Amino acid sequence: MEFEFMKSIRREILASLTGFALILFPVKASGQPCSLSMQVSHTAAEQLSLADLDFPNFHSTNLLFTVTFTNKGVVAANASLHLIMDITLAQGSINFPGALDLTTKAFPVPPGGRTITNLNLGPGGDIQTQTYSFSREAKTKIEDIALLTGHMPAGSYNFHIELKELGCATTVNDHVELLLQNPTRVELRSPRDGETTNTFPLFEFYQDGLRAVLTVAEKTPEQTREDAITRKPAMLEIDLSGRNSFLYSGGRPLEDGKTYVWTVVSKVRTAGGSDIDVSSPIGLFSVSGSLQGSGSLNGTVDDALLTQLEEILGSKHHAVFQQIRSGGYHLTSNMSLNDSKLSASQLLDLLIQLRDLSDSIELSFE
């Protein structure tokens, strides 16, 4: 009887200890919420090198993307990343889905979190590679274009990044897309070299980048073009974004009988965050305030204002503007905005701002 009683006591104690073990040493079950989250950002790079993308094999110093991890837990979590890069080249719409595929070994994320970049994945980085592949076809195509042009081919380089937390069933996904423009040339179109213009010339040029700087400077007879364009202060130096034309305004007035030089510099952002300048040739033009064209307004501030209005309102009112020019009409000096008097130059600047917004606002002509 005593023996049976002791066995019963032992069974109850064992059951209690087992219960304590389950409470003190929980196992993270499948489907349990994970502790980690991530946010991915990238640089505004317009040029890359193959070394920037071939993480395990080359040591790059250029920052492409940043991954910020947040750990809501009270202990460090172990994680790994799975990175896939899709490439779509602008040349001939050539696609390489899954061109690069990389999986890292597990790495710790302390409570609170940590931040890594693509530089952590390369040689000497603290995150080691588990598996890695780079499509031979994609790599060969990229190398062939890079050897020919000296630049990585323009196109879309789309990184899909997946975070896996060890012990959790769910994954976290994000992606970044690098759009490479690789601007390589800047071409001046108008005024043509040596042309005589009015006092409000329309500058037209070609450059396939996102940002450019237009500079206009006076040239004296004894100066070379190179000396004149570096003259400070310039007549005009203006940053242009997404534009390939600019009607002269905002600078010092261009004077009748003088000669000027102009140039456009395309600003190309590299993966390292710095700019490379791609410059046009230095153009030359002269100014004549009395220059007449097909209309009596040509060469005056009135014509510059009408040109801006016509560009904003589109071609549907072309006949109206032709009548204004051929009829010799001119603007009065009574110009105002919200009861504040405007000069012709201020009105011209306002119209240029409206033109830049013309894609997002609706304008009417009465």
The reply to whether 5 falls in a domain is no
The reply to whether 8 falls in a domain is no
Rounded Cα–Cα distance for residues 195 and 141 (Å): 44
Signed CA dihedral, 102, 122, 156, 64: sign only: positive
What mean pLDDT value characterizes the chain?
Answer: 77
Report in angstroms the alpha-carbon separations of 308 from 46, 215, 279, 317: 31, 21, 27, 13
The reply to whether 258 falls in a domain is yes
The reply to whether 163 falls in a domain is yes
The alpha carbon torsion through 235, 342, 365, 353 (nearest 10 deg) reads 40
Instruction: Please check whether residues 73 and 112 belong to one and the same domain.
Output: yes
The reply to whether 233 falls in a domain is yes
The reply to whether 119 falls in a domain is yes
The reply to whether 26 falls in a domain is no
Which range has the worst mean pLDDT, 77-86, 129-138, 196-205, 303-312?
Answer: 303-312
Helix (H, G, I), strand (E, B) or coil at 197: strand
Domain boundary among 159, 180, 201: 180
For 17, list phi and psi in degrees, rounded to 5.
Answer: -65, -40
Higher pLDDT, 142 or 227: 227
Task: Give tens-digit pLDDT for 193-204.
Answer: 999 988 888 888
Domain at 46, CATH number = 2.60.40.10
Range among 73-77, 305-309, 329-333 rated most confident: 73-77
Q: What is the pTM of this model?
A: 0.51
Instruction: Please check whether residues 282 and 315 belong to one and the same domain.
Output: no
Give the range of the structural domain holding residue 237, as residue numbers without chain letter: 183-291
Q: Do the beta carbons of residue 325 and residue 295 sit within 8 Å?
A: yes
Rounded Cα–Cα distance for residues 147 and 53 (Å): 16
Total tally of structural domains belonging to the chain:
3
Instruction: Please check whether residues 268 and 324 belong to one and the same domain.
Output: no
β-pair type (107-109, 65-71): unpaired
Instruction: Please check whether residues 302 and 273 belong to one and the same domain.
Output: no
Instruction: Please check whether residues 253 and 270 belong to one and the same domain.
Output: yes
Tokens of 152: 């990585």
